[in-house]
Amino acid sequence: MDFNLKKLTSDAGVFFTRAVQFTEEKLGSAEKTELDAHLENLIARADCTKNWTEKIFRQTEVLLQPNPSARIEEFFYEKLDKKIPSRTTNGELLGQYMLDAAKDFGPGTPYGSTLITVGEYQSRLGGAEREFLQTSAINFLTPLRNFLEGDWRTISKERRLLENRRLDLDICKARVKKAKQAEAKAAAEQELRVAQTEFDRQAEVTRLLLEGISSTHVNHLRCLHEFVEAQATYYAQCHQYMQELQKELSSANSDTYPNSFASNANPSTSATCPSPVSSATLPGVSPPCLASTSTPGIAREPSGPLKIQDVQQPSTGHRKAKVLYDYDAHDTSELSLLADELITVYTVPGMDPDWLVGERGNQKGKVPVTYLELLS
């Protein structure tokens, strides 16, 4: 008990002395031993690495798991060293809802069969997302976390110890200057030599740890390549699935869907709507329908190719668009584009969803949606 009390008293005295030295240095009334330039550069580089690694780590977590509650739950599972429960992705959940809805609507109906097709592909997209999240967490997030919670904590501990050794060294230097008697000065000089040795040893340990930041950068570079590879694989799978889904839907008879609803209406009148306009059109603006009269049992002849010069410009649906790439018109119905220019675009009934009508002054023509960035 006496030993512990003496140690506690000694530690308190050392802490107080260091605090006084630190305060006097801040006030400019005491000298401070400066670290060598190489060590200072290593410390600055390490701080920069830690700060940006932490920001990248946190934002990657938000990217992979936007739900803050889910992130907190996963954090506690990791701290408790327990396996994180498997979580259903939004795509998988949407796909299951569509499959369940198809059962109620009837798998043999046009809507029900389409729900089954789309639901299956949504489940595939959700599965691809799950694989991407798992791969990214293992190959990218885990190494960053290991650095922040492992290597950086060790570096921080040794840097605090180095700072304490520096304060002790400066305290000893001050004592040597204040010593008047020969005995006191000799004792102070002996303490100074010991403090200098401990400071030099700790500076070397800290320097070796800080130089290891270079290998950390190499490791994180490799992890970054793996993260990008996982992203590329994920987006390629999504693109492939959506192309396959579009082919399946386009191969079905598109007239089946409007006819199934028109059968309950007046047999002498049918409303024929153009194909759904792509997401490039204004949100919330439904495509107009062309009302036509027909004799029961006789199908309406499809109209010919749409010509820009024969179309009346609609009064709604206009918006500005920025051109992303140069485009050369292939015929007189198209409008040539220059990268970074602004044009006005809109859609017209019956037009291919991959195209819009573009206007530049008195010039007008079809333009491809993929060459545009639509502005609000």
Average the pLDDT over each of 34-48, 59-73, 200-214, 322-336 and give the range with the smallest value.
59-73
List pLDDT tens digits, range 12-54: 767 778 887 878 777 777 778 889 999 999 999 999 999 999 9
Please name which of 138, 43, 131, 148 lies closest in space to residue 89, comparing C-alpha atoms: 131
Confirm if 257 and 294 have CB atoms less than 8 A apart.
no
The model's pTM is 0.59
Q: For residue 283, what pLDDT is reported?
A: 40
Q: Is the pLDDT of residue 212 over 90?
A: yes
Q: How far apart are CA 215 and CA 197, in angstroms?
A: 29
Give pLDDT, residue 82. Answer: 67
Type of residue found at 195 = A
Q: How confident is the model at residue 242 (pLDDT cuts 50, 70, 90)?
A: very high
Q: Judging by DSSP bridges, how do beta strands 372-374 and 290-293 pair with one another?
A: unpaired
Q: Measure Cα distances from 366 to 123, 216, 285, 309, 359 in Å.
A: 36, 53, 20, 10, 9
Of 10-19, 160-169, 266-275, where does mean pLDDT reach its minimum?
A: 266-275
Tokens coding 272? 């024929």
Residue 18: the pLDDT is 82
Tokens of 335: 């409008």
174-186 pLDDT tens trace? 888 888 888 888 9
Asked if residue 94 has pLDDT above 80, the reply is: yes
Mean pLDDT to the nearest integer, 206-232: 95
Considering only residues 183 and 67, tell me which one the structure prediction assigns the higher pLDDT. 183
Does residue 301 surpass a pLDDT of 60?
no
End-to-end CA distance of the chain: 75
Residue 152 has a pLDDT of: 95
pLDDT of residue 85: 66
**pLDDT-based confidence at residue 3 (cuts at 50, 70, 90):** low
